[in-house]
Amino acid sequence: MVVSVRRPLLAPQTPMVQCVGSVHELKRTFLVSAPAERSTSATNIRRGLQADRMKRVLQGDEQEDGGGTSGGSQESLKRPCKQTREEDSEEEEASRCEYLPQEILLHIFQYLPLLDRAYASQVCRGWNQAFHMPELWRCFEFELNQPASSYLKATHPDLIKQIIKRHSKHLQYVSFKVRMESEKERKQCGVDSSRESAEAACNILSQLVNCSLKTLGLISTARPSFMELPKSHFISALTVVFVNSKSLSSLKIDDTPVDDPSLKVLVANNSDTLRLLKMSSCPHVSPAGILCVADQCHGLRELALNYHLLSDELLIALSSERHVHLEHLRIDVVSENPGQQFHTIKKSSWDAMVRHSPKFNLVMYFFLYEDEFGPFFRDEIPVTHLYFGRSVSKDVLGRVGLNCPRLVELVVCANGLRPLDEELIRIAQRCTQLSAIGLGECEVSCSAFVEFVKMCGDRLTQLSIMEDVLVPDHRYGLDDIHWEVSKHLGRVWFPDMMPTW
């Protein structure tokens, strides 16, 4: 125990004890140390060790809960503090530890990683109380995955138990990260571990009866695990949260089997507070289901869904007088099978949206086959961010140039073999807001590209062009082009390179 406690106390906590004098200094110490700590992704080994330690710490904590603190462990746990303040007398040191005001302690704890907080909680009763302060438990991310996929860390089961037992009522901002393993691993484990993870998430959700969540996120870090669950199981767990949390403001349930009835429950209980709803790739929701959300939740400011849920009615509902300005609308246009037919949205509906929310971002991700673009970009559309994940034809890009006056960012991953010269020039002419562009497997002649950059000038804050995209012509070779483009941008620019190896 002593060893395991000593590490964190000597490392990040050292300055904490030394700087007890001033709150500002305290802040400084932790502001500086915390981010660095966070971004060093812990290695797997370290994670393993941490999980181990976490278990021990939590077990220690449990004991403490039962019979108070035993003298022996107290003493051994205090030792690290002494070491950090060699110049001070022991007495003074001991008293300082204890008299650190609770709110300062809380403040410090906020900047500590959970594990370090857990260690610190073993120092003395006061610190232990601080560890359990509700303020520290408002926000939590459960990571549920089996050790087989060793790239990810997992939230320790003992910790989950503790949280449900002691802190579920404090939780407000919750997310679940669930990961699914390959079929082979599933066979090896003998159980369907990914489904287990998703199920574990559902089980935790259904136990969150007496809490009032403000945000909830269900995130599959691999393939959509929640889709694997029996729909009824998932729905009933989700409904528990919807019914009990009367003030959900943010809900991220992409790739889940959520359905129309459960959305109705959501609306019935949280219509006043809901601001963000992300539900891309939820096949059980119908256009009517999402329309019901838009009709009732007037505070909705961000919405993410698939194109098949988008309707003229939905846009009209979102631009009704009672509705706040929408800020972000993300649409995924995904082809389920080649040659799929897509419906069209009326220009008047988009116009209504722009009138109501003049500044809203319309983010569209296209994952379509080339011949499925028929209904798109025929009329003016207020799209701001366009991402073409698959090959898109010259013709469609030509229409983009004509009909997307609000375009800010454009990513074209691939295009046919003919150069995109006229299309880019037209986009430069017509899309006067365009400030970012990325081109993958496309071709543009160097001259046309220089012309494009010249027309856009320094408003192009992001210009990410693969080297192979640029075709040298009579005016510019590959060696000249970066100077020419840099000149027009007013900063140094190079095409993106890939190693030749």
Partner 1 sequence: MAVNSVHWFRKGLRLHDNPALQEALSGADTVRCVYILDPWFAGAANVGINRWRFLLESLEDLDSSLKKLNSRLFVIRGQPTDVFPRLFKEWKVTRLTFEYDPEPYGKERDGAIIKMAQEFGVETIVRKSHTLYNLDRIIEMNNNSPPLTFKRFQTIVSRLELPRRPLPAVTQQQMDKCRTKITENHDQLYSIPSLEELGFRTVGLPSAVWRGGESEALDRLNKHLDKKVWVANLDHPRVNTCSLYASPTGLSPYLRFGCLSCRVLYYNLRELYMKLRKRCSPPLSLFGQLLWREFFYTAATNNPNFDRMDGNPICVQIPWDQNPEALAKWAEGRTGFPWIDAIMTQLRQEGWIHHLARHAVACFLTRGDLWISWESGMKVFEELLLDADWSVNAGSWMWLSCSAFFQQFFHCYCPVGFGKRTDPSGDYIRRYIPILKDYPSRYIYEPWNAPESIQKAANCVVGVDYPKPMINHAEGSRLNIERMKQVYQQLSHYRGLSLLASVPTIQEEAEPPMTDESQTSSGPDSPPRVPAPSEAAGCSTAPDSSTVYVSYAPRPELEGTQGPHPSQTPCTSSGSHPQPPAAVSWSFAPPSPAHSPLSRSKASSPSSSCPTSSPAPSPAGAPGQTFPKRKGLARQTRRNPRQRGRPSCATSGREGERREEEEEEREDTGGDERMEEDAEHEVERMEEETSAHQQ
> Angle at CA 275, nearest 5°, toward 269 and 278?
95
Q: Tell me the C-alpha distance between 73 and 484, whole Å.
A: 70
**Structure tokens that stand for 467 in this block:** 């080297």
Q: Tell me the C-alpha distance between 463 and 409, whole Å.
A: 10
Return the H-helix or E-strand segment holding 286: none
Which of 64, 158, 192, 302 contacts partner 1 by CB under 8 A?
Answer: 302
| Binders in 277-296 for partner 1, by CB under 8 A | 278
Binding status of residue 101 toward partner 1 by CB under 8 A: no
Binding status of residue 135 toward partner 1 by CB under 8 A: yes
- Closest distance between partner 1 and the C-beta of residue 442, in Å? 10
- The letter for the amino acid at 173 is Y
How far is C-alpha 454 from the chain's CA centre?
36
Q: Which is nearer to partner 1, 89 or 341 (CB)?
A: 341
| Binders in 153-192 for partner 1, by CB under 8 A | 153, 155, 172-173, 175, 177, 179, 181-185
Tell me 100's DSSP state.
S
- Closest distance between partner 1 and the C-beta of residue 71, in Å? 29
| Binders in 393-432 for partner 1, by CB under 8 A | 406, 408-409, 411, 413-414, 416-417
From residue 32, alpha-carbon distances to 7, 8, 109, 111 in Å are 19, 16, 15, 10
Q: Tell me the C-alpha distance between 433 and 429, whole Å.
A: 10
Binding status of residue 455 toward partner 1 by CB under 8 A: no
Residue matched to tokens 């349930």: 253
| Binders in 249-268 for partner 1, by CB under 8 A | 249-250, 252
| Binders in 321-380 for partner 1, by CB under 8 A | 324-325, 327-328, 330, 332, 334-335, 338, 359, 361, 363, 365, 367-368
| Binders in 38-57 for partner 1, by CB under 8 A | 38-41, 43-45, 50, 54
**Structure tokens that stand for 138 in this block:** 């408002």
Phi, psi of 265 (to 5 degrees): -60, -45
* Number of neighbouring beta carbons within 10 Å of residue 266: 26
| Binders in 227-246 for partner 1, by CB under 8 A | none
Which of 107, 166, 167, 454 contacts partner 1 by CB under 8 A?
Answer: 107
Which of 74, 83, 102, 464 contacts partner 1 by CB under 8 A?
Answer: 464
Total of residues contacting partner 1 (CB under 8 A): 130
- Closest distance between partner 1 and the C-beta of residue 91, in Å? 30
